[in-house]
Amino acid sequence: MRLLNKVALITGGGGGIGRATALLFAQEGAQVVVVDVNDAAGEETVAQVTRHGGEALYVHADVSQAAACAAMIQAAETRFGKLNILFNNAGIMHPRDDDAVGTDEEIWDLTLAINLKGVYLGCKYGIPALRRAGGGSIINTASFVALLGAATPQLAYTASKGGVLAMTRELAVVHARENIRVNALCPGPLRTELLMSYLNTEEKRARRLVHIPMGRFGEATEMAYAALYLASDESSYVTGAEFVVDGGITAAYVTPE
C-alpha cells in the first residue's frame, strides 16, 4: 500500500477527481477526509470508501472561507491525529465565465474566491498541520489552460488556474527545507460533470476534442493515479512541478522557449 499510515484531506471530494482520488487513496491505505459543500455528494464518497473497507470522514467546508478551511484541518487532526497529504482540488467552472467583455464581475470574483483563494486558504491552515506531522505533500489542482489559452473562452477559470501554478511554485521553494512538497496537477479536458456541464453542446465538446492528440476526454481516475504518485513517497524529489496529464494537448500547442 503506497499511502499506508497516511492521512489525506481532499477538497471537492464529492465527485469527479476528488471522489476518484478519495477512493484510490483509501485503497492505498490512507485515512481520508472528504471535504465538499454538497453534503449528499460528500457523504456518498465516504460511504463508497467505507463499503470498500477504507476509513473516511466527511467535513462540510466552503474553501473560500477562512474559518471553514481552519475547521477542516482541525477536523482531520482531531479525528486521525495528523495530516500528511493536502489535496486542494475544489473548484468551479461557471457557465457564465466568458471573455473579458462577457464575464460579469460577480462571476470573476466567485471563481477566483473558490479556485485561487481556496487553495491559498487550504495551504494557510494546512501547512502548519503538515509541519506538525514532520512534513508531507500538497497537491493543488491547476489545469492545462494555465499553460495555454482555452479555445472556448473561460477567462476567470483560466486566470485562477494560472494563479494556482504561480502560488504552487513559490510555496514549493519556500517550504522545500521543511520536507513539505508542493506540486500542481494540471489535468487536460476530462469527462467529468464539471466540464461536461460547461461544454454543454456537441459543438463545444467537438471544439475541445479536436485539440487533444489522444482524441478523447480524460477520466477522473486517471487524474487520481497522478495525484497518488504526487502524494506518495515515490515522488520524494518532486516539488514545484507542473504535473501535466492532458492527453498530449500542451505538447501539441506549447512551443519550448
CATH assignment at residue 231: 3.40.50.720
Question: Is residue 145, in this structure, part of any structural domain at all?
Answer: yes
What's the predicted TM-score (pTM) here?
0.95
pLDDT at 151: 75
- Considering the chain, what percentage of its residues have pLDDT values greater than 70? 98
Q: Quick one: average pLDDT of 17-45? A: 98
- pLDDT band, very low/low/confident/very high, at 186 (cuts 50, 70, 90): very high
The grid cell for 145 is 489552460
CA separation for the pair 135, 176 (Å, rounded) = 10
Indicate the residue type of 130. L
Q: Which residues are catalytic?
A: 157
Question: Is residue 178, in this structure, part of any structural domain at all?
Answer: yes
- pLDDT band, very low/low/confident/very high, at 60 (cuts 50, 70, 90): very high
Q: Quick one: 55 exposed, middle or buried, by C-beta within 10 A (0-12, 13-18, 19+)?
A: middle
Q: Quick one: average pLDDT of 144-169? A: 93
Question: Is residue 252, in this structure, part of any structural domain at all?
Answer: no
- pLDDT band, very low/low/confident/very high, at 203 (cuts 50, 70, 90): confident
- pLDDT band, very low/low/confident/very high, at 150 (cuts 50, 70, 90): confident
Question: Is residue 221, in this structure, part of any structural domain at all?
Answer: yes
- pLDDT band, very low/low/confident/very high, at 160 (cuts 50, 70, 90): very high
Question: Is residue 160, in this structure, part of any structural domain at all?
Answer: yes
Per the prediction, the chain carries an average pLDDT of 95
Q: Quick one: average pLDDT of 70-99? A: 97
Q: What are phi and psi of 218, to 5 degrees?
A: -75, 170
Please tell me which residue, 212 or 135, carries the higher pLDDT value: 135
Please tell me which residue, 207 or 125, carries the higher pLDDT value: 125
Question: Is residue 244, in this structure, part of any structural domain at all?
Answer: no
pLDDT at 255: 65
**Alpha-carbon dihedral angle through residues 196, 200, 201, 202, given to the nearest 10 degrees:** 0
Is 80 exceeded by the pLDDT of residue 153? Answer: yes
CA separation for the pair 255, 74 (Å, rounded) = 44
End-to-end Cα, the chain, rounded Å: 40
Q: Quick one: average pLDDT of 221-227? A: 98
Full domain range(s) for residue 119: 7-238
